[in-house]
């Protein structure tokens, strides 16, 4: 059997439940899975099923009723297929007005579950999906709630800083739209979330506010669209969010972005995250990034 054939066989076993030796329960959902797959990729599952330790090791049933069933389904799909798909409530479709807010929250729930189960690759993937959505749909009415939930699941330090940086840099880039008297939801959220207010203030102090005019560019690292006024003979441009440095010509031609088309058919994703711990560093000394 070829490697691709073996992968297909494992995925079919997940879909059919054939040869399952472990059951995962979440709400009304029940998933038949295989220890060799889930334990190999999750330290949490390894400990839960270790002989003579927890009840799960004796019953062969893992109870995850405290977690969102849709996030559990996405997590298990990822362990078998190296990717996961969005799911929507029964009354919602991807074209519903509230869909983008739901999608952002969905990826955050997956991130939180991946953090709990210690699945680093899934944390990175969900963070990437989340970052792409936020950079495109920051004006969605759900954004203040998204910021609140982000801060509740991502404590400061290490990986948590990366997830927080996504919402902070996005709010900073669009500060002129957010920090106005008419944006009551955002301002109310800031008043009740001191850590976010502090982080945003520090970001603005370091980066300044973006030039609302100028030419529009697309980041080749995180796919953010931003505007900047170019100085004479400027060849490179630094993204204000992820600080990826690339040539002006590349940023003027988004078609050059090497993005992976996922099965949703709506977004692209680079497998390597640019929202990592280095994402908050200052641009290289002497660089001219077109921001004031």
Domains plus CATH for the chain? 1-66 (3.30.710.10), 215-280 (no CATH)
Band (pLDDT 50/70/90 cuts) for residue 233 is low
Q: How confident is the model at residue 88, as a pLDDT?
A: 92
pLDDT class for 234, splitting at 50, 70, 90? low
Average pLDDT, the chain: 80
* CB-facing half-sphere around the CA of 71: CA atoms within 13 A: 24
Inform me whether the pLDDT recorded for 260 exceeds 60: no
- Show the CA angle centred on residue 93, arms to residues 92 and 94, nearest 5°: 130
Residue 277 pLDDT > 50, yes or no? no
The predicted pLDDT at position 148 comes to 97
Q: Is 101 helix (H, G, I), strand (E, B) or coil?
A: helix
CA dihedral (25, 26, 30, 33) in degrees, to 10, reads: -60
> Which of 102-111, 155-164, 203-212 comes out lowest in average pLDDT?
203-212
Ramachandran angles phi, psi of 217, nearest 5°: -130, 160
- Using alpha carbons only, give the angle 230, 236, 237 rounded to the nearest 5 degrees: 65
Q: Give CA separation, 284 vs 87, 217, 239, 259, in Å.
A: 41, 20, 12, 25
The better pLDDT of the pair 75, 10 is held by 75
Q: Which three-class secondary structure string do you get for 136-161?
A: HCCCCCCHHHHHHHHHHHCCCCCHHH
Our CA angle for 171, 120, 258, nearest 5°, is 65
According to the model, what pLDDT value does residue 280 have? Answer: 38
């Amino acid at each position: 059997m070829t490697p691709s054939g073996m992968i297909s066989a494992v995925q079919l076993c997940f879909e059919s439940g054939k040869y399952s030796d472990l059951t995962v329960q979440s709400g009304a959902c029940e998933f038949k899975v295989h220890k060799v797959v889930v334990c190999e990729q999750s330290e949490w599952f390894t400990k839960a099923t270790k002989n003579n330790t927890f009840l799960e090791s004796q019953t062969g049933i893992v109870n995850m009723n405290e977690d969102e069933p849709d996030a559990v389904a996405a997590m298990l799909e990822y362990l078998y297929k190296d990717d996961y798909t969005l799911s929507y409530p029964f009354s919602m479709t991807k074209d519903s007005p509230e869909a983008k807010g739901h999608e952002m929250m969905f990826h955050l729930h997956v991130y939180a579950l991946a953090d709990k189960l210690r699945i680093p690759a899934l944390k990175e993937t969900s963070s990437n999906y989340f970052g792409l959505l936020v950079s495109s749909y920051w004006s969605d009415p759900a954004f203040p709630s998204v910021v609140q939930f982000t801060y509740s699941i991502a404590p400061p330090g290490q990986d948590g800083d990366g997830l927080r940086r996504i919402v902070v840099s996005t709010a900073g880039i669009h500060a002129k739209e957010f920090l106005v008297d008419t944006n009551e939801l955002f301002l109310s959220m800031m008043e009740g979330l001191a850590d976010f207010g502090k982080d945003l203030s520090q970001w603005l102090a370091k980066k300044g506010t973006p030039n609302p005019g100028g030419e529009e560019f697309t980041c080749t690292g995180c796919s953010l669209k931003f505007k900047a006024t170019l100085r004479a003979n400027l060849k490179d441009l630094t993204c204000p969010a992820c600080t990826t440095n690339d040539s002006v010509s590349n940023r003027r031609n988004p078609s050059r972005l090497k993005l992976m088309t996922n099965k949703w058919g709506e977004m692209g994703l680079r497998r390597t995250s640019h929202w990592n711990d280095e994402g908050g560093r200052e641009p290289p000394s002497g660089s001219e990034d077109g921001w004031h």
